[in-house]
């Protein structure tokens, strides 16, 4: 059965359907040797090229929805390539056949913590849509005196340059003197929203770590720069949030040897992280920006 071209490309992880429509309108996509137009439908055996490069397509039944939890370090940017040569979040992810990893949202260069990636572009785009309102939790270290009035303002809402904003919850989490830790939650994903909320109270954020996305938590044993593939129940929790049908297959084993393989994979992740640190330390430092 044929499907709309932009849907097929989005599912393969090339971008959102709207982005794919823009690519098609710009003449960047061809089908069976002819420049595609908006509204085109394609069969599974169609030969699709983007910017002259062949891309493979699969039906929804052929694709297995996979999700990775990545522990993003500070200093990495959420882009596939950077003209300044800074490290990106995609560099240490595992290779994937006939698709590519799509980030579910973004974290700025100075923020660390949980970042999800999926092989299903439709899932990523739905989770990122503002209507989903997925709760995110952050651990925040602040620098400056935080008063009860500051906390109350952040709970009830303040006016930022792009509209009103507030934390859904804000709880103290220890610290000494003017260096305090807090746990905050919100359901929006506006640019630098957590930092800007604190800055509205003239309080500086010195550390920012995302520790939870919905019910998916950052694994305590996952090193910075490491990743782990989510099991089927967590994948389907995310698909349910996005209004998608449950996935029935997984690339993770369920037999008695899977635990041993998991330990081997963890050691490989740690070695990869250490190798990346060595390579990064040899590279010429570049200017960072938030």
Q: Residue 127, class by beta-carbon neighbours within 10 Å (0-12 exposed, 13-18 middle, 19+ buried)?
A: buried
pLDDT reading at 271 higher than 80: no
Confidence of residue 251 (pLDDT cuts 50, 70, 90): confident
Active-site residue 98, yes or no?
A: no
Cα-based angle 70, 74, 77 (whole degrees, multiple of 5)? 75
pLDDT reading at 33 higher than 70: yes
Q: Select which of 32, 51, 108, 148 is catalytic.
A: 108
Confidence of residue 257 (pLDDT cuts 50, 70, 90): very low
Which residue ranges form the domains of the chain, and what is each CATH number? Answer: 3-55 (3.10.290.10), 67-130+224-245+254-281 (3.30.2350.10), 135-213 (3.30.2350.10)
Nearest to 13 by CA among 76, 67, 73: 67
The least confident of 151-155, 181-185, 209-213, 273-277 is 273-277
pLDDT at 12: 76
Report DSSP letters for 58-70, one per residue: --TTT----EEEE
> To the nearest whole number, what is the mean pLDDT of the chain?
85
Give the 3-state secondary structure of residue 72: strand
pLDDT tens digits for range 176-208: 778 999 999 999 878 899 999 999 999 999 999
Helices (H), 173-229: 193-199
Label residue 115 left, alpha or beta by phi (over 0 means left) and psi (-120 to 50 means alpha): beta
Angle between helix 232-241 and helix 121-128 axes, rounded to 10 deg: 50
3-state helix, strand, coil in the chain (%, to 5): 25, 25, 45
pLDDT tens digits for range 123-163: 988 898 888 889 999 999 999 899 999 999 999 999 999 89
């Amino acid at each position: 059965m044929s499907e709309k071209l932009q849907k097929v490309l989005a599912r393969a992880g090339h971008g959102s359907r709207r982005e794919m429509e823009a690519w098609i309108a710009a003449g960047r996509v061809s089908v069976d040797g002819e420049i595609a137009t908006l509204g085109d439908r394609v069969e599974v055996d169609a030969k699709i090229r983007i910017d002259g490069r062949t891309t493979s397509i699969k039906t929804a039944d052929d694709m297995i929805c996979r999700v990775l939890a990545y522990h993003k370090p500070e200093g990495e940017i959420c882009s596939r390539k950077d003209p300044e040569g800074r490290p990106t979040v995609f560099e240490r992810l595992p290779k994937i056949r006939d698709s590519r990893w799509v980030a579910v949202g973004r974290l700025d260069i100075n923020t660390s913590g949980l970042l999800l990636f999926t092989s299903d572009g439709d899932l990523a785009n739905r989770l990122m849509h503002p209507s989903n309102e997925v709760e995110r939790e952050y651990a925040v270290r602040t620098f400056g005196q935080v008063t009860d009035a500051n906390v109350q303002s952040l709970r009830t809402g303040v006016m930022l340059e792009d509209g009103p904003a507030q934390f859904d919850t804000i709880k103290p989490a220890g610290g000494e003197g003017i260096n305090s830790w807090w746990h905050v939650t919100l359901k929006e994903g506006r640019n630098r929203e957590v930092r800007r909320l604190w800055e509205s109270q003239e309080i500086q954020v010195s550390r920012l770590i995302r520790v939870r996305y919905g019910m998916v938590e950052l694994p305590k044993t996952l090193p910075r720069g490491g990743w782990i593939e989510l099991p089927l129940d967590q994948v389907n929790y995310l698909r349910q949030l996005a209004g998608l049908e449950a996935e029935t297959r997984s690339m993770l084993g369920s037999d008695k040897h899977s635990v041993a393989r998991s330990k081997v994979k963890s050691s490989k992740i740690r070695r990869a992280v250490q190798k990346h640190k060595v390579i990064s330390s040899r590279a010429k430092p570049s200017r960072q920006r938030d």
